[in-house]
């Protein structure tokens, strides 16, 4: 089994030439995020991930978790590694310095997260959930709540969870039945059962801060009647020390396809007198608050697709360079490695080109969030906020769909050995399969893209992106990259045709728009990936023309050309699924499905 090697060179290229870390470092408060500092930090993060986290991946998969004396016990080494992770300050890289964070741009934190996730996804989802909980409390918590919890959560000493799903509700959060009643002293008593709670209980941190959705007495039905509560595992005393155990307990953990080392818990609140909870903000605003946490998490979930695709690609590539089998067509070499076979090259280049497209999209998504928060021009802030909103369902939906396909391709490169667990490559496919499901299934991401993001500002946000992609295609005319520009222009035309159809259906026939949403997400993600490849190829060509390109620049152009030839043309075949309407979906009665 090959070891993970942090792709620092490619990360640096994207950070410098797509996310434009130089410009971000000039924003207020980010002056310590210059390129040299960021590259040094990521090099150290990569070393830490390889040495401390990557060895846990197989151990965690084989051992899983277990409940001992009513608490979850994680796999060997997880608690020790988490302690080192906290002590090194990695949890707080992009959080507010007022609460002990590093204050670095979110794009830098995302890069650290990629290294951590690729090393061991099961480990990485614990700080991912804490990150979302910090975001929610930072935006919606009271000053007292922030002072009580954020210092510990930013450091990672305490972890966070999100508690939405219930057995009878599933994705229909409005059907939840967990209750919260006032205790008369400013606190509440929460009672109910939540399922699928990632790291709902574990032995890695001294406290767990559960953010729980519940209904208060007389609350309106549906999502409008949902409030959000802090329900800590251990109550916090006035002096900040930990007090008695709250009435919040793990009932069981799920036996899953993958992510065996990440405890997915059934949580019970209020078995005795009711779990002590603290209302965040206003009653009835819980779902709106939770979306702050979920939106922050969706990009990170998309990143899981990128991180495990990168890890699987590395293993497949290394195996293909070592495995001797078959005589390549047109060759007399009976001892050739399988990378010489055209179909294996096709799979490897498909993996490589998609990984690079995903990284460019997701890092630019994070950079847009940074500009939206810190840019001095309000118009630029507004534009980047809209762009980040448009990119997020692509990062989450397209990123995890493609990630699953790439991890599956890695198994295919290995052949029969890929299906054997000892090779290690099948674990990535198993672990990643949850990512298209959680934080809003990819079908929900597609609906969000079509029904909310496509019509933003009367379609102006989408058309602005179209204009940028078209401008890139036009800029390549008359150059050595003209073929890439031509294919990009054709794919952009497909996106426009599909988008115009969906926009026309939103009011008159919304079910037709819903029927085309998922293929449209795939189409737009593919086009945007091709756009970033074209931009990176242009940078690489300029480097070569300036005499400073080297192998990386040549490879960037070759990868972009492969993507434009082999991946981008699929958009033409997606126009029909987007625009054919819903009738064929319902042509067979439900009873005969």
Same domain, 269 and 297: no
Whether residue 334 is contained in a domain is answered as: yes
CA gyration radius, the chain: 24
Cα–Cα distance between 106 and 110 in angstroms, integer? 6
Q: Tell me which of 439, 468, 565, 582 is the catalytic residue.
A: 439
Same domain, 449 and 381: yes
Any idea what the CATH number is for the domain that residue 573 is in? 1.20.140.10
Q: Give me the pLDDT at residue 447, please.
A: 98
Q: What is the DSSP code string of 82-120?
A: HHHHHHTTGGGTTS-GGGT-----HHHHHHHHHHHHHH-
Whether residue 590 is contained in a domain is answered as: no
Same domain, 274 and 249: yes
Cα–Cα distance between 271 and 210 in angstroms, integer? 16
Q: Give me the pLDDT at residue 219, please.
A: 92
Same domain, 117 and 168: no
Which residues touch 347 (CB under 8 Å, ≥6 apart)?
316, 409, 412, 413
pLDDT in tens, 475-503: 999 999 999 999 999 999 999 999 999 99
Whether residue 263 is contained in a domain is answered as: yes
CB 424 within 8 A of CB 61: no
Whether residue 586 is contained in a domain is answered as: no
Name the residue among 504, 396, 413, 492 with its Cα closest to residue 449: 396
Whether residue 3 is contained in a domain is answered as: no
Which residues touch 124 (CB under 8 Å, ≥6 apart)?
53, 113, 116, 117, 304, 307
Same domain, 309 and 405: yes
Domain termination site, one of 96, 120, 153: 153
Same domain, 363 and 391: yes
Any idea what the CATH number is for the domain that residue 117 is in? 1.10.540.10
CB 562 within 8 A of CB 353: yes
pTM: 0.96
Cα–Cα distance between 246 and 266 in angstroms, integer? 16
Same domain, 248 and 390: no
- 3-state helix/strand/coil string of 53-81: HCCHHHHHHHHCCEEECCEEECCCCHHHH
Q: Give me the pLDDT at residue 1, please.
A: 47
Same domain, 248 and 306: no
Point out the residues of the chain with pLDDT beneath 50.
1
Residues paired with residue 248 on neighbouring β-strands, in sequence order: 269
Q: Give me the pLDDT at residue 176, please.
A: 86
Q: Give me the pLDDT at residue 297, please.
A: 87
Whether residue 589 is contained in a domain is answered as: no
Same domain, 91 and 194: no
Q: 447: part of which helix (H) or strand (E)?
A: helix 442-448
Residue 7 vs residues 309, 427, 561: alpha-carbon distances, Å: 12, 20, 21
Which domain, by its residues, includes 18?
A: 8-153
Tell me phi and psi for residue 460, to 5 degrees.
-65, -35
Same domain, 261 and 294: no
Domain total of the chain: 3
Whether residue 172 is contained in a domain is answered as: yes
Any idea what the CATH number is for the domain that residue 207 is in? 2.40.110.20
Cα–Cα distance between 298 and 549 in angstroms, integer? 35
Whether residue 593 is contained in a domain is answered as: no
Same domain, 369 and 386: yes
Residue 172 vs residues 167, 175, 191, 440: alpha-carbon distances, Å: 11, 6, 19, 11
Domain termination site, one of 116, 135, 153: 153
Name the residue among 16, 21, 12 with its Cα closest to residue 43: 12
Q: Give me the pLDDT at residue 177, please.
A: 87
Domain termination site, one of 153, 171, 205: 153
Active-site residue, 439 included: yes
Tell me phi and psi for residue 229, to 5 degrees.
-130, 145
Same domain, 115 and 167: no
């Amino acid at each position: 089994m090959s070891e993970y090697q942090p792709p620092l060179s490619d990360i640096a290229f994207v950070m410098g030439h797509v996310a434009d870390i130089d410009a971000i470092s000039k924003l207020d408060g980010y002056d310590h995020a210059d390129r040299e500092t960021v590259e040094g930090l990521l090099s150290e993060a990569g070393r830490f991930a390889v040495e401390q986290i990557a060895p846990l991946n197989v151990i965690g998969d084989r051992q899983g978790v277990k409940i001992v004396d009513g608490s979850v016990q994680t796999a060997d080494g997880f608690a020790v590694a988490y302690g080192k992770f906290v002590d090194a300050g990695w949890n707080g890289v992009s959080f507010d310095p007022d609460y002990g964070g590093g204050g670095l741009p979110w794009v830098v934190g995302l890069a650290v997260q990629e290294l951590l996730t690729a090393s061991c996804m099961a480990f990485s989802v614990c700080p991912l959930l804490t990150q979302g909980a910090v975001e929610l409390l930072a935006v919606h918590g009271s000053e007292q709540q922030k002072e009580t919890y954020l210092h510990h959560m930013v450091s990672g000493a305490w972890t966070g969870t999100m508690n939405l799903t219930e057995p009878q509700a599933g994705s229909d959060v409005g059907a939840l039945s967990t209750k919260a009643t006032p205790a008369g002293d400013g606190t509440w008593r929460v009672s109910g059962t939540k399922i699928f709670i990632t790291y709902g209980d574990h032995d890695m941190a001294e406290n767990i801060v559960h953010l729980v959705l519940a209904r208060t007495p007389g609350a309106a039905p549906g999502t409008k009647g949902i409030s959000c509560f802090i329900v800590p595992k251990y109550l916090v005393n006035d002096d900040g020390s930990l007090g008695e155990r709250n009435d919040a307990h793990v009932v069981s953990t799920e036996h899953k396809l993958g992510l065996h080392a990440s405890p997915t818990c059934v949580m019970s609140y209020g078995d005795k007198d009711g779990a002590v909870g603290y209302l965040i903000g206003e009653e009835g605003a819980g779902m709106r608050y939770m979306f702050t946490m979920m939106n922050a998490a969706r990009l990170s979930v998309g990143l899981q697709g990128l991180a495990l695709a990168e890890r699987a690609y590395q293993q497949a590539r290394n195996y293909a360079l070592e495995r001797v089998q078959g005589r390549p067509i047109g060759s007399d070499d009976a001892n050739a490695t399988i990378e010489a076979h055209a179909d294996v090259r096709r799979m490897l280049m498909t993996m490589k080109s998609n990984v690079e497209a995903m990284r460019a999209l997701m890092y630019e998504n994070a950079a847009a969030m940074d500009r939206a928060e810190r840019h001095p021009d309000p118009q630029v802030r507004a534009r980047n906020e809209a762009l980040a909103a448009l990119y997020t369902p692509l990062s989450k939906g397209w990123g995890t769909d493609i990630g699953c396909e790439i991890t599956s391709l890695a198994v295919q490169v290995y052949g029969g050995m890929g299906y054997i667990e000892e090779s290690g490559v099948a674990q990535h496919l198993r672990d990643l399969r949850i990512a298209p499901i959680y934080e809003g299934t990819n079908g929900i991401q597609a609906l969000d893209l079509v029904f909310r993001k496509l019509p933003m500002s009367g379609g102006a946000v989408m058309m602005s992106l179209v204009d940028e992609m078209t401008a890139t295609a036009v800029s390549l005319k008359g150059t050595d990259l003209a073929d890439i520009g031509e294919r990009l222009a054709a794919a952009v035309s497909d996106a426009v045709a599909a988008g115009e159809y969906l926009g026309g259906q939103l009011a008159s026939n919304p079910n037709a728009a819903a029927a085309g949403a998922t293929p449209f997400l795939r189409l737009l993600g593919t086009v945007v990936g091709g756009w970033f490849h074209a931009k990176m190829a242009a940078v690489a060509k300029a480097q070569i023309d300036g005499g400073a390109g080297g192998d990386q620049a040549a490879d960037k152009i070759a990868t972009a050309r492969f993507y434009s030839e082999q991946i981008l043309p699929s958009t033409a075949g997606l126009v029909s699924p987007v625009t054919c309407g819903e009738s064929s979906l319902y042509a067979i009665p439900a009873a005969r499905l």
